[in-house]
Amino acid sequence: MKNTMIAGLAGALLLSTAGFAYAAQGTTVVPAGQQSPQTEVAQAETPAEAPAAADEAPAASEAPAASTGTSGQESAPAGDDASSAAAAPAEGGGASVAGVSNPEPDANPSADTKAESNTVATIKPADAAEDPGLALDSAEKPVYAFAEDGTADWYTWRGYKKYGANCLQCHGPDGMGSSFAPNLLESLQTIDYYEFAGIIVGGQQNQWGSNNSIMPAWGEDPNVMCSLNAIYTYLRGRSDGVVDRGEPKRPGKSDLAQAAQQKEYDCLGF
Ligand code: HEC
């Protein structure tokens, strides 16, 4: 009886916090036609040889910044990816943000990547004032954005750091689980961004045999809440098989990376 009460309580909490997370995240607007560097994704400089494809893209200069420039993929798509490749607007699955060249995700990627039919190849920038330099997929969910040379975007790199500081002690190195807590690479195959945010904000509790398994609630902890998108972006990359174990290649200095870091400091009250 006690268990049902706890489960009910946790459910109610989860619902309300998921609603909160949605409200906080659902307002992202990408200004159409904006050309300023503010709409680009925070990452290292594009290598000089990369953007040849930008010239081939018809009317690239009139298109919104979110869809200018394509770049070839590094890895050839596997044969069974033919359908998703065909669905992608840019032939070859090139990213739609200038200079972004995301690797092909695993065959069994995160729930968000599955839902978007691997449109992580057609990402766009989040609102520069809200989340400077953050990449979104076509469902407006945060996603990694790699440069041609394999450099991560700022959020993916930062998420690795914040994961290490706040989650690793239970969920193990690189998100791969421990005897205390589940493998988050597998969890993300069924949990989407909003469910993830709800669990982080409100926590989660389950009874496994005689063991009470508790995921703490982080809704009041700025160290986690100010970096929720970064942690998700990193774990999504891990779950998609495009972020390796260990530290992702750190992005170089850029205005957007700096703005993103400043935004985090502001949120933390530094
Ligand atoms: C004190 C240990 C601990 C810490 C620290 C911790 N977690 Fe957890 N987490 C757990 C446990 C235990 C569970 C499993 C709860 C359950 O059985 O429902 C869990 C569950 C989860 C789940 C749901 C997984 C699923 O498949 O249901 C997510 C997502 C998650 N944690 C993310 C995180 C993130 C991100 C962080 C860092 C911000 C973090 N956790 C920090 C212990 C922890």
For 111-133, write each residue's pLDDT tens digit.
999 987 666 767 889 998 999 99
Q: Quote the pLDDT of residue 39.
A: 53
- On average, the pLDDT of the chain sits at 75
Mean pLDDT of 207-235: 94
Place of tokens 């972004």: 100
Q: Is the pLDDT of residue 270 over 50?
A: yes
Q: Quote the pLDDT of residue 158.
A: 98
Q: Quote the pLDDT of residue 86.
A: 34
Q: Quote the pLDDT of residue 138.
A: 87
d(CA 31, CA 223): 30
Mean pLDDT of 228-232: 98
Q: Is the pLDDT of residue 185 over 70?
A: yes
Q: Quote the pLDDT of residue 239.
A: 98
pLDDT bin (cut points 50, 70, 90) of residue 66 is: very low
Mean pLDDT of 129-153: 93
Of the listed ranges 3-12, 22-31, 35-44, 219-228, the least confidently predicted one is 22-31
d(CA 48, CA 261): 26
Of 170, 212, 226, best ligand 1 pocket probe by most atoms within 8 Å of the beta carbon: 170
Please report which residue ranges of the chain form alpha helices under DSSP H. 2-25, 52-56, 82-87, 111-115, 154-166, 168-171, 184-187, 193-202, 222-225, 228-239, 255-268
Q: Which residues are near ligand 1 (CB < 6 Å)?
A: 166-167, 169-171, 180-182, 184, 187, 191, 196, 199-200, 204, 206, 213-216, 218, 224, 231
Of 254 and 90, the one with more pLDDT:
254
DSSP-assigned beta bridge partners for residue 213: 206
Q: Is the pLDDT of residue 212 over 80?
A: yes
Q: Quote the pLDDT of residue 211.
A: 83
Cβ contact 154:56 at 8 Å: no
Q: Quote the pLDDT of residue 20.
A: 38
Q: Quote the pLDDT of residue 153.
A: 96
End-to-end Cα spacing for the chain: 45
d(CA 46, CA 137): 20
Of 6, 199, 215, best ligand 1 pocket probe by most atoms within 8 Å of the beta carbon: 215
DSSP codes, 39-51: GS---SPPPTTTT
Q: Quote the pLDDT of residue 101.
A: 86
**Highest mean pLDDT pick, 28-37, 69-78, 188-197:** 188-197
What's the whole-model pTM score?
A: 0.73
The angle formed by the CA atoms of residues 82, 85 and 86, to the nearest 5 degrees, is: 85
DSSP-assigned beta bridge partners for residue 212: 207
Q: Quote the pLDDT of residue 51.
A: 38
Residue 211 has φ and ψ, to the nearest 5°, of -95, 130
d(CA 243, CA 249): 10
Q: Quote the pLDDT of residue 75.
A: 39
CA nearest ligand 1 atom 6, residue:
167
Of 27 and 104, the one with more pLDDT:
104
Q: Quote the pLDDT of residue 162.
A: 98
**What is the gyration radius of the CA atoms in the chain, in angstroms?**
19
Residue 97 has φ and ψ, to the nearest 5°, of -100, 135
Give the pair of three-digit tokens for residue 268.
């933390």
Cβ contact 152:236 at 8 Å: no
Give the pair of three-digit tokens for residue 161.
């750091």
